[in-house]
Amino acid sequence: AAKAAGRRQCVAIDAAMREAVVLRQRLESELAAAIAEGQIRAWFQPIVDLGSRRCIGAEALARWHHPEFGVLEPAVFIPLMEKQGLADALFRAVLRDACVALRPLAARGALRHLSVNVSPSQFRFGTLGADVLAILEETGFPPQVLVLEITEAVLLLELSHTRDTLVQLCAQGARVALDDFGTGYSNLAYLRSLPVHCVKLDKSLTAGVEDDPRAGRLIRAFVQMAGTLELELVAEGVEAAAQAEWLAAAGCVLQQGYHFERPLPAERLEAVFGRDGT
């Protein structure tokens, strides 16, 4: 009986895997057209300042509004995007959508920081600089509000080229954030060789800091380093009130996480900006 049950389970898993493969192939074949048709939208996760208890910024996060499957998250389609060389096209879609949606908030000074994620592959052939400048111009979005989030994977590429692109964008007023700091090797050398204004502490560093003295000391050291280097620090993955208060008391006042808000469509972000006392 156990053997038969085992076999049934195998068959079920096998069917599920086949279904997953079919689904992935289907999404893969549809992604390019979906980008072109505007099915990739920017959603926004608020970035709050625990000093003023107000929302001061947001991170744009890609969502695929699939006509049949509903709203799909990046884990499903970012790997397909990379595989098909669609990183630039997807980035343009997200940046344009974000700039159009949030320009009013930025224009009245409520939004100080709009983060957009850049894929490392976008530095390889280099239309990133021109793309960003064209979209800022087309949408009238203030460059000083834009923050490009890069990851340490850019270190695997030709550094001088990456640096040139970022320097060009910074000259127009945009800023650069290191995303997911604390994962991977977190090589500090790129703080020396690239123009970086902001470091985002990954949730693996901020999770449970309020109960873990060792983790806490690490955060304090980063706060001190950020102060010395005049880097803005944003804590990611803040899920609990005690965690938020601990981080704020340690000097890490800019925070992002489910404790405040999950990523929201643009039309629901406005209300968060209007609100006091986060």
Contacts with Mg ion by CB under 5 A lie at 117, 149, 179-180, 236
* Residue 237 binding: pick among ligand C2E, Mg ion, none (C-beta 5-8 Å cut-off by kind): ligand C2E
Q: Which is nearer to ligand C2E, 12 or 23 (CB)?
A: 23
**Distance between CA 278 and CA 276 in Å, rounded?**
6
We find the least distance from the C-beta atom of residue 200 to Mg ion, in angstroms, to be 5
CB-nearer residue toward Mg ion: 117 or 243 = 117
Residue 181 binds which entry of ligand C2E, Mg ion, none, with Cβ cut-offs from 5 to 8 Å by kind? none
Q: Pick one of Mg ion, ligand C2E, none as the site partner of residue 78 (Cβ within 5 to 8 A by kind).
A: ligand C2E
State both tokens at 14: 């096998």
Least gap, CB of 28 to ligand C2E (angstroms): 17
Query: Which are the contacts of 105, defined by CB distance < 8 A and separation ≥ 6?
Result: 111, 269, 270, 273
Q: Determine whether 39 is exposed, middle or buried from the number of CB atoms within 10 Å of its CB (0-12, 13-18, 19+).
A: middle
- Write down the least CB distance from residue 212 to ligand C2E, Å: 17
Residues that bind ligand C2E (CB under 6 A): 45, 61-62, 73-75, 78, 90-91, 94, 117, 119, 149, 179-180, 203, 237-239, 256-258, 263
Partner from Mg ion, ligand C2E, none contacting 142, C-beta within 5 to 8 A by type: none
CA 245 – CA 227 distance, rounded (Å): 19
> Between 74-83 and 87-107, two packed helices, what is the crossing angle to 10 degrees?
130
Comparison of 117 and 226: residue with beta carbon closer to ligand C2E: 117
The nearer residue to ligand C2E, 30 or 149, going by C-beta atoms, is 149
From the list 94, 60, 75, the residue with the least C-alpha distance to 269 is: 60
Return the number of the residue (30 or 252) whose C-beta is nearest Mg ion: 252
Residue 257 interacts with, from ligand C2E, Mg ion, none (CB under 5-8 Å by kind): ligand C2E
How far, in whole angstroms, is CA 41 from its chain's centroid? 14
Nearest approach, Cβ of 59 to Mg ion (angstroms)?
6
Query: Which residue number, 119 or 278, has a Cβ lying nearer to Mg ion?
Result: 119
How far is 237 from 216, CA to CA, in rounded Å? Answer: 15
Minimum gap (Å) between residue 116 Cβ and ligand C2E: 7
Cβ-count burial 217-235 (b if 16+ within 10 Å, e if not):
ebbeebbeebeeeebbbbb
How far is it, in rounded angstroms, from Cα 238 to Cα 242? 10
Q: Quick one: 224 or 240, whose CB is closer to ligand C2E?
A: 240
- Least distance (Å) between residue 122 CB and ligand C2E: 8
